[in-house]
Every structure is written in C-alpha cells, then in structure tokens.
C-alpha cells in the first residue's frame, strides 16, 4: 500500500454491516467470504476503506455487539485465518480495513462474566464489571435505563445487580479496573499485529461511570439524543479521555497510519472535539450532521460548528448520513420531519420515497464536497430505503423485545443487500436459502447489477462523485468558504476552483458563473438547479 500517514483525514469509508452485505457460506447470513467476493465492487465504487461491524464470537443478541471473545471470529462469519486473508486482500485492492471494537460491555457469555457470576460478591472477578447491591429488596441500585428500553440493571442469583446500559446480555465492563484496561490494550495489539488499519470504537462516550452511580432522574434513555448536561453519570465523562490517550500510544507504536474513529453521541461539537485532541483518537463520527434536518440554515450551522470545533484541535471533520443504528436517510428525508431519531423512536411518519431519493442524491454531493472524511453505509449507494414493513416475527433488534413490542428497532436499515437478479434473495445468498431478514420484492430495480447498467442510478452518482473527489485537488481535507446566496440555498467554495451548490428552496436557482458542471444530482433545467438538487461546478 502507498504510505500516506494521514489517509484518514479525507478518506471515504464504507460501513459493512457484516450480516447483510453478502453470504458466501449459504446460511442466509452475510460473512467474510461474502465480503471477499464484493471487494472488487467496493474498489470500483471508489471507497478508500472498509469498516466491518463486529465479527467476533457472539451469541448475536445485539448483532455481534455482544462479544464473547475479542480475539477470534464467529463461525457464522468465518475463521481467523479467513479474516487475515481478507485484511491482505483489502490492502491488495488499495483499500484499508477498520474493525469494530466494543469496549463498553462484553457478552454475558464472555468467560469473565461467567467467572464473575460464579465467584460471588466482593470477588476480583466481579470487580471487572459493575456489580452492586440493590436499594432494598427487588430495588435496583439506581434509576438508570437501558438504551434498548427497561431498567439498566439485572439481578443475579445471590441478590446483587449488574449494570447494562444496553441489553441484559451486554454487561458493562468496569473501566476503573486496571485489568480491563490491560486487556483492551492487548486486544488492540492482537488486531494491529494482524494488519488492521484502524478501530471504530463502540459507545466511546460510555466507558466511565460516576463512582457513586447517582440517580439520573429521567424515565427514558436515548443514545442518539444524549442529554445536554455536564456531569452526566454515564455519558461523556472526563475519565474516558485517559483511556483513549493510552490507546493512542498503543496504535502509534505501530506507525503513524493506524487510526481510531469514535462513536460518541455527545451534546455538542466542542464535546466531540475532546475525543480527537492530538494525543487521543484521530477521528469521531459527526452525528450532528446525521441528526440534522434537511433545511439550509440547520445544515449550514452544523457544518460551521463542526468544522470550527474540529479545527480548534487540528482534527478533520467526518460526515455521515446513515448507519446500522438509524433510519436510512433516504426515508428520513422523505418524511415531514427530516431530523434523525434514535433507536427508541416509535413515531413513524410515512415517507415519500421519491422525494427522499431526490434529497439523498443532493445530500451525498453536499457531504462529499465538505472538508474532511466521509462514511457511507452499505446500500445507500443503491438508493435503498428503510424497510418499514418487516413482519413482526422476523424482528431481531433487542429493542423490539425490550420495549414490550412497542418499538420495532433497527432491523429496517439492516436488510440484506440486493446484488442481482429479479427476485429475492437477489444474489445476497444462494437461491434456495432465505436471507436472515426478508428483502422487498421491488428491490429488483435496486440491485447493484441493475444500477451498474444505468448511469443515472444512485450507484452511478456515487461512483461519479467518488471519482471526481479522488481526482479534484479541491476536494477532501481542507477548508471551505461560504458564498452569498439566498437563505435556502447552500453555496460554498473549495479551493482551488470548485463550487458546491445545494438548492433547498422551493424555486429553481440559477447557477452562479462557472466554467463547467462537474456533476449534478439531477438534470439541470435551463441552467437552473431545481428544488432539492445539488451540483459541483468548476469555476
Ligand atoms: C453501538 C452500535 C449499536 C449497538 C450498541 C451497543 O451504538 O452501533 O449497534 O447496539 O453500540 O453495543
């Protein structure tokens, strides 16, 4: 691979939700063999790196975010040897590979948790997790809620309770325990030794809890909308930064091109910037952009505040519109309310898919023109929408059970990808096999095969944009300057010589002077950009 130490400052990174990319083994669940078979597709699309969601041995209560062994691969996905082959192949295609690290909690099937249960109160084994006595008979130690619904505490035989900010099968580790810290540094080394280029840090804002575990005083927890309060007892506590400083030292000992990206749902860009100070993690997902409504003033202020906060610490900004935890943005942008809601949201407004598609096309040109790095979520390049009518008996997200069947959860953005052909499983797995979640029949028009044959498709737009982004000296890392425009139109300049225009107003917008249109999300009408479209101009 070409050595470019700061590749992550402007990389376009493709999220692979492993269960849903492609199935190579024939069991209806995506796996490493499936990913390997799609590497040429990813290379041709033009992404720089691939982030793979957890692939470790796991009971799969939370799609693999419940890890029973951090140093192996679940047989559902393949073997460690295959993972090593994959890492080499990704590099062979000129891309990088990021693995998902889940430090906030393990699975309840992790040997440490089993030992903790066996060893009893007061034992060093229990001290690796957060065990406490209750506040009286059948009373949990405090009022904290699980992100998936219900209390954040479960009682074990013998009477003590353990903390789980997520499902009961995901006990929180105790990061005040030096053994936990040593173990994770060793896990980092294990994967760095195998050549991974980076880590996505799951729930980076949750590792440290207030030592007194005080009541929260709030009836509901929602990770996506972390409350805007300082000294929150379990989110975004100052203590997390020490951990990341030590991890940075580990990664740096492998050279200066290994990176981290933090998943930290925090209240404002200044708080996020603390995770990417020069001796901590290099990058963090910018969820303010993902949460933002499709409105010019909100987008402009999010772009400005994020750039400003990251610039202050010398870190690049990242941009992300969708991931495996939120409603696909194409659907969100087709709803009356376009703001992202968290996994616990239970109000689903109908979406106008045509409108959402138009806006999603404009949004990707906006995102890829902004300074910094960008994340794509598998299937957005095919224009996939959220699948909102999955039958209840196939739902697997723990949110569905934990909410007493009130909140359907995140399965709708995790439906296996359509690759080819005219009926399910669309090449995701062998014909006779049923994918782990059913695909809509109308995805025959959304297969990679159908879209590759159609230059005007969403895939065609993504590929063209990524090609231009790679070649154009103005795109990627750097700064932007806003150009005067009507309130509902975003116009900014990247140097040298590129103008990005996004029309969110309800009237066509006459393009400013330019040499040539490099790319537009829809056909131009008499030199005008219609509502909800975007263009890149060479000026
Ligand atoms: C992160 C993951 C999500 C998972 C949760 C608990 O937010 O993205 O999918 O459920 O952490 O690990």
Question: 336 with 432, same domain?
Answer: yes
Q: Is 131 in the pocket of ligand 1 (CB under 6 A)?
A: no
Active-site residue set: 202, 263
Given ligand 1 and candidates 152, 166, 290, which is best to mutate, with the most ligand atoms within 8 Å of its CB?
166
Domain count, the chain: 3
Check if 55 has its Cβ closer than 6 Å to any atom of ligand 1: no
Residue 501 and residue 491 in contact, taking contact as beta carbons nearer than 8 Å: yes
Cα–ligand 1 centroid distance for 164 (angstroms): 12
Ligand 1 centroid vs 348 CA: distance in angstroms? 21
CA–CA separation, 240 and 242 (whole Å): 6
> CA 72, 75, 77, 82 torsion: positive or negative?
positive
Tell me if 62 CB under 6 Å of ligand 1. yes
Q: 169 in a domain, yes or no? A: no
In a domain, 468, yes or no: no
pLDDT score at 281:
98
**pTM confidence score:** 0.97
Query: What is d(CA 496, CA 66) in angstroms, rounded to the nearest whole number?
Result: 46
Question: Has residue 285 been placed in a domain?
Answer: yes
pLDDT band at 62 (very low <50, low <70, confident <90, very high): very high
Q: Which atom of ligand 1 is nearest to the CA of 65?
A: 12
Q: Which atom of ligand 1 is nearest to the CA of 398?
A: 10
Ligand 1 contact via 340 beta carbon (within 6 Å): no
Query: Does 467 fall in a domain?
Result: no
In a shared domain, residues 34 and 150: no
Instruction: Tell whether 304 and 442 lie within a shared domain.
Output: yes
Whether 472 maps to a domain, the answer reads no
CATH number for the domain spanning 500: value is: 2.60.40.1180
Q: Is 37 exposed, middle or buried (0-12, 13-18, 19+ CB in 10 A)?
A: middle
Which residues constitute the domain of residue 529?
Answer: 480-538
Residues 428-457 as b/e (b if ≥16 CB within 10 A, e otherwise) read bbeeeeebbbbbbeebbebbbebbbeeeeb
**275 alpha carbon – ligand 1 mean position (Å):** 18
Give nearest CA residue, ligand 1 atom 4.
65
8-state DSSP, 18: G
Last residue of a domain, one of 409, 428, 458: 458
Verify that 280 and 146 share a domain, yes or no. Answer: no
CA of 81 to the centre of ligand 1 (A): 26
Same domain membership, residue 333 and residue 430:
yes
Q: d(Cα 412, Cα 506) in Å, to the nearest integer? A: 30
**Which CATH number fits the domain that encloses residue 158?**
3.90.400.10
Distance between CA atoms of residues 172 and 65, nearest Å? 12
Whichever domain contains 454, its CATH number is: 3.20.20.80
Look at residue 319 and tell me if it is in a domain.
yes
- Probe residue for ligand 1, chosen from 105, 110, 325 as the CB with the greatest number of ligand atoms within 8 Å: 325
Confidence tier at 342 by pLDDT (50, 70, 90): low
13 lines ligand 1 (CB under 6 A): no
Nearest atom (ligand 1) to Cα of 325: 9
Which residue's CA is minimally distant from atom 6 of ligand 1? Answer: 65
Instruction: Name the residue at shortest CA distance from atom 7 of ligand 1.
Output: 203
Residue 105 alpha carbon, nearest atom of ligand 1: 12
> Is residue 381 a part of any domain in this protein?
yes
Among 9-13, 226-230, 367-371, the least confident range: 226-230
Q: Which ligand 1 atom is nearest residue 324's CA?
A: 9
Same domain, 140 and 195: no
Cα separation, 408 vs 410, in Å, equals 7
Residue 280, helix vs strand vs coil: coil
Are 33 and 154 part of one and the same domain? no
Q: Are residues 103 and 115 in the same domain?
A: no
Same-domain status, 195 and 264 = yes
> Atom 2, ligand 1: which residue's CA is nearest?
202
Is 148 a pocket residue for ligand 1 (Cβ < 6 Å)? Answer: no
Cβ neighbours of residue 92 closer than 8 Å, sequence gap 6 or more: none
Closest CA to 344 of 409, 418, 433, 420: 409
Q: Are residues 224 and 294 in the same domain?
A: yes
Residues 153 and 186 in one domain: no
The rounded Å distance from CA 65 to ligand 1 centre is 6
Lowest mean pLDDT among 70-84, 335-349, 385-399, 401-415: 335-349
pLDDT at 218: 73
29-51: per-residue pLDDT in tens?
999 999 999 999 999 999 999 99
Asked whether residue 314 is domain-assigned, the answer is yes
**Ligand 1 pocket, residue 144 CB under 6 Å:** no
Structure confidence by residue, pLDDT tens digits, 191-228: 999 999 999 999 999 999 999 999 998 766 666 666 66
For ligand 1, atom 9, name the residue with the nearest CA. 325
Among 133, 163, 193, the domain boundary falls at 163
Residue-wise pLDDT for 430-469, tens only, equals 999 999 999 999 999 999 999 999 999 999 999 999 999 9
* Terminal-to-terminal C-alpha distance of the chain: 34
Considering the domain architecture, whether residues 143 and 159 belong to the same structural domain is answered as: yes
Position 504 pLDDT exceeds 80: yes
């Amino acid at each position: 691979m070409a050595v470019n130490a700061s590749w992550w400052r402007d990389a376009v990174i493709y999220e692979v939700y492993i269960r849903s990319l492609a199935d190579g083994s024939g069991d209806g669940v995506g796996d490493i063999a499936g990913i390997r078979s799609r590497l040429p597709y990813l290379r041709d699309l033009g992404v720089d790196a691939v982030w793979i969601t957890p692939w470790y041995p796991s009971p799969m209560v939370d799609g693999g975010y419940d890890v029973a062994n951090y140093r192996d691969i679940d047989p559902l996905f393949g073997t460690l040897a295959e993972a090593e082959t994959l890492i080499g192949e990704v590099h062979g295609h000129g891309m990088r590979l990021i693995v998902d690290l889940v430090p906030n909690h393990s699975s309840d099937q992790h040997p440490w948790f089993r030992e903790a249960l066996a060893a009893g109160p007061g034992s060093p084994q229990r001290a690796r997790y957060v065990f406490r006595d209750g506040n009286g008979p059948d009373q949990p130690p405090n009022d904290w809620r699980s992100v998936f619904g219900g209390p954040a505490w479960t009682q074990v035989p013998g009477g003590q309770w353990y903390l789980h900010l997520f499902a009961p099968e995901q006990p929180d580790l105790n990061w005040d325990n030096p053994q936990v810290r040593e173990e994770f540094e060793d896990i980092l080394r294990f994967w760095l030794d195998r050549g991974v280029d980076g880590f996505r840090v799951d729930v980076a804002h949750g590792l440290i809890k207030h030592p007194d575990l005080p009541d929260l005083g709030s009836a509901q927890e929602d990770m996506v909308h972390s409350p805007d309060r300082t000294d929150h007892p379990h989110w975004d506590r100052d203590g997390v930064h020490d951990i990341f400083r030590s991890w940075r030292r580990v990664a740096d000992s492998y050279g200066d091109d290994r990176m981290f990206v933090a998943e930290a749902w925090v209240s404002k860009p200044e708080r996020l910037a603390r995770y990417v100070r020069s001796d901590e993690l290099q990058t963090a997902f910018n969820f303010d952009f993902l949460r933002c409504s499709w409105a010019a003033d909100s987008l402009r202020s999010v772009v400005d505040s994020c750039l400003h906060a990251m610039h202050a610490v010398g870190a690049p900004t990242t941009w992300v519109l969708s991931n495996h935890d939120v409603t696909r943005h194409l659907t969100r942008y087709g709803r009356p309310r376009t703001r992202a809601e968290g996994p616990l949201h239970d109000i689903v407004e109908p979406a106008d898919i045509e409108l959402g598609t138009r806006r999603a096309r404009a949004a990707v040109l906006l995102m890829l023109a902004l300074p910094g790095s960008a994340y794509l979520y598998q299937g957005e390049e095919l224009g996939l929408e959220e699948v909102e009518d999955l039958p209840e008996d196939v739902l697997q997200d723990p949110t569905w059970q934990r909410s007493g069947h009130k909140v359907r959860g995140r399965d709708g953005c995790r439906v296996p990808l359509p690759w080819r052909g005219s009926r399910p499983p669309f090449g995701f797995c062998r014909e006779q096999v049923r994918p782990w979640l059913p695909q809509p029949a109308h995805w025959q028009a959304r297969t990679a095969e159908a879209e590759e044959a159609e230059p005007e498709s969403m895939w065609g737009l993504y590929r063209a944009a990524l090609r231009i982004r790679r070649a154009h000296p103005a795109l990627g890392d750097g700064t932007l300057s806003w150009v005067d425009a009507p309130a509902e139109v975003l116009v900014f300049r990247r140097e040298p010589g590129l103008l990005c225009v996004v029309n969110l107003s309800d009237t066509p917008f006459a393009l400013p002077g330019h040499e040539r249109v490099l790319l537009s999300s829809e056909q131009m009408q008499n030199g005008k950009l219609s509502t909800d479209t975007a263009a890149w101009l060479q000026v």
